[in-house]
């Protein structure tokens, strides 16, 4: 049976020419005065942080209450996979010069934290080792940060959810019922920031959570261990976030079962990007590291709609690189065209059945496909072995007739059909993807 994949993109249309300002995703009741603010990506070398926040933004529906999610607070450092190109962003919430490159981002985040509707702030991190109250060994000791709920002090007076220690321990208990390994046990780490006696305490006084506390908000850090694979870090973060939401009376639905291996599949495979007002759709699971002759509009900055707020496209060395967090997924080598407009559907014969298919779709094919002839549209099936026909509409095309190296995926299943307007100087209109599946 033919399946047409409808593409619903939640997020901003972006351009590689934009600065990398962070995104704010608002979910749930916009009028709620009981909001949870979740911040991911404050340090770009902590992928569990920004991946968990991204999934909260894309794969959760808030059915009661409200959350704000900033999944890519330090977006440039995420792309560069470092702690911060202009210094540690989580040490800039005390005093900061207006000349600091991060000043604008810090001020914008301070306004979000200080918003009257925000009652709780959770800052996501990946931490070293495994925090333990007493020294066990180098990786399991009080100076480690991983697998811990972080508080700056036990209580904050006259603040909603101000019993920080009790809430942190409740979150830890919830996580510890669902551990993947006994070593992964969570504990509450109190940094005693308000005392400001030791060097560490003075440093913690410059952080986002301490600013939040001094702004009259309950605030917590969440640290999953860098010793764990990313999908396991995300698993523990989502467990923690769901418990924070439960405590606040925020209700939600998610689009997957909260299991570590399922999360790995979601993170790796449920990703895509579209271009040209969604007339080009590219699924990014198992994408080839380079796609040549990618149609780009002549004379304009490339625009795109990503499935994830930690995805972007950056021009590098006359090509366009698709980043997903700190990973380079693919490089698009451009071929420049004038773009035309086409808002209708294309008639295609798929395995013996006629279908109306919109540009920007992906269709499954078992045996063969044929694009029905249109006198005003030229069809080019990328990789189809053809020296006879300048227009590849009206031809029954089987997988064996397409060179596998021209697929967009490593499994050689997905191929491009490109459409051009013969009536208007052969302008590029868009593309349809076919995916060959087992018979």
Domain count, the chain: 3
150 occurs within a structural domain: yes
Do residues 215 and 308 share a domain?
A: no
22 occurs within a structural domain: no
Look up the pTM and report it. Answer: 0.91
CA nearest to 238, candidates 371, 394, 387, 60: 60
Q: Report the distance separating Cα 317 and Cα 68, nearest Å.
A: 36
**What is the predicted pLDDT for the residue at 85?**
87
**What is the predicted pLDDT for the residue at 2?**
32
Do residues 395 and 285 share a domain?
A: no
**What is the predicted pLDDT for the residue at 10?**
37
Q: Report the distance separating Cα 33 and Cα 160, nearest Å.
A: 11
7 occurs within a structural domain: no
**What is the predicted pLDDT for the residue at 1?**
31
**What is the predicted pLDDT for the residue at 298?**
87
Q: Please give the structure tokens belonging to residue 300.
A: 């304009």
Boundary (domain end) residue, out of 292, 308, 337 = 337
Do residues 203 and 332 share a domain?
A: no
Do residues 190 and 297 share a domain?
A: no
Do residues 290 and 350 share a domain?
A: no
Q: Report the distance separating Cα 6 and Cα 135, nearest Å.
A: 54
**What is the predicted pLDDT for the residue at 381?**
97
Do residues 263 and 389 share a domain?
A: no
**What is the predicted pLDDT for the residue at 17?**
32
**What is the predicted pLDDT for the residue at 146?**
97
Do residues 332 and 354 share a domain?
A: no
Do residues 246 and 283 share a domain?
A: no
CB hemisphere CA count around 334 (13 angstroms):
21
402 occurs within a structural domain: yes
Do residues 203 and 108 share a domain?
A: yes
Do residues 236 and 297 share a domain?
A: no
Provide the phi-psi class of 322: left if phi over 0, else alpha when psi is between -120 and 50, else beta: beta
Do residues 166 and 119 share a domain?
A: yes
Do residues 233 and 372 share a domain?
A: no
**What is the predicted pLDDT for the residue at 385?**
87
pLDDT in tens, the chain (439 residues): 333 333 333 333 333 334 578 999 999 999 999 999 999 999 999 999 999 999 999 999 999 999 999 999 999 999 999 988 899 999 999 999 999 999 999 999 999 999 999 999 999 999 999 999 999 999 999 999 999 999 999 999 999 999 999 999 999 999 999 999 999 999 999 999 988 778 888 889 999 999 999 999 999 999 999 999 999 999 999 999 999 999 999 999 999 999 999 999 999 999 999 998 899 999 999 999 999 999 999 888 889 999 999 999 999 989 999 999 999 999 999 999 999 999 889 999 999 999 999 999 999 999 999 999 999 999 999 999 887 888 999 999 999 999 999 999 999 999 999 999 999 989 999 999 999 998 7
Q: In CATH, what number is assigned to the domain containing residue 170?
A: 3.40.630.10
- Strands 218-225, 148-151: pairing is antiparallel
To which residue do tokens 């709780």 refer? 120
Q: How many CB atoms lie within 10 A of CB 305?
A: 20
Angle 288-290-292 (CA atoms, 0-180°, nearest 5)?
120
Boundary (domain end) residue, out of 289, 312, 337 = 337
**What is the predicted pLDDT for the residue at 15?**
37
318 occurs within a structural domain: yes
419 occurs within a structural domain: yes
**What is the predicted pLDDT for the residue at 9?**
34
20 occurs within a structural domain: no
330 occurs within a structural domain: yes
**What is the predicted pLDDT for the residue at 6?**
31
The domain containing residue 52 runs over which residues? 31-267
CA nearest to 93, candidates 79, 80, 108, 81: 108
């Amino acid at each position: 049976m033919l399946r047409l994949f409808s593409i619903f993109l939640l997020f901003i249309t972006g351009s590689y020419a934009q600065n990398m300002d962070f995104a704010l995703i608002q979910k749930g009741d916009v009028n709620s005065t009981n909001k949870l603010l979740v911040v991911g990506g404050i340090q770009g070398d902590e992928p569990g942080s920004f991946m968990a926040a991204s999934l909260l933004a894309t794969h959760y529906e808030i059915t009661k209450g409200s959350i704000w999610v900033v999944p890519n607070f330090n977006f440039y450092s995420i792309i560069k996979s470092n702690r911060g190109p202009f210094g540690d962003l989580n040490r800039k919430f005390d005093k900061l010069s207006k000349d600091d490159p991060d000043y604008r981002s810090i001020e914008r985040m301070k306004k979000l934290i200080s918003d009257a509707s925000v009652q709780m702030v959770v800052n996501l991190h990946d931490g070293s080792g495994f925090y333990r109250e007493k020294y066990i060994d180098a990786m399991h000791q009080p100076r480690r940060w991983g697998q811990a709920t972080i508080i700056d002090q036990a209580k904050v007076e006259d603040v909603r959810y101000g019993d920080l220690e009790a809430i942190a321990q409740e979150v830890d208990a919830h996580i510890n019922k669902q551990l993947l390994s006994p070593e992964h046990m969570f504990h509450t780490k109190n940094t005693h920031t308000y005392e400001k006696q030791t060097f560490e305490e003075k440093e913690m006084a410059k952080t986002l959570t301490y600013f939040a506390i001094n702004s009259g908000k309950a605030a917590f850090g969440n640290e999953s261990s860098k010793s764990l694979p990313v999908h396991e870090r995300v698993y523990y973060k989502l467990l923690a976030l769901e418990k924070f939401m439960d405590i606040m009376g925020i209700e939600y639905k998610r689009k997957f079962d909260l299991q570590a291996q399922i999360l790995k599949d979601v993170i790796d495979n449920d990703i895509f990007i579209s271009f040209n007002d969604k007339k080009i759709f590219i699924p990014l699971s198992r994408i080839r590291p380079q796609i040549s002759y990618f149609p780009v509009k002549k004379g304009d900055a490339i625009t795109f709609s990503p499935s994830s707020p930690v995805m972007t496209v950056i021009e590098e060395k006359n090509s366009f690189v698709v980043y997903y967090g700190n990973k380079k997924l693919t490089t698009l080598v451009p071929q420049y065209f004038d773009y035309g407009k086409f808002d209708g559907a294309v008639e295609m014969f798929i395995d013996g059945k006629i279908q109306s298919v919109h540009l920007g779709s992906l269709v499954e094919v078992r045996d063969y496909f044929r694009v029905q002839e249109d006198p005003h549209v030229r069809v080019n099936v990328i990789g189809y072995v053809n020296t006879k026909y300048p227009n590849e509409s009206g031809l029954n095309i089987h997988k064996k007739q397409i060179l596998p190296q021209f697929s967009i995926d490593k499994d050689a299943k997905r191929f491009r059909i490109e459409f051009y307007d013969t009536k208007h100087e052969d302008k590029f209109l868009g593309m349809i993807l076919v995916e060959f599946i087992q018979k």
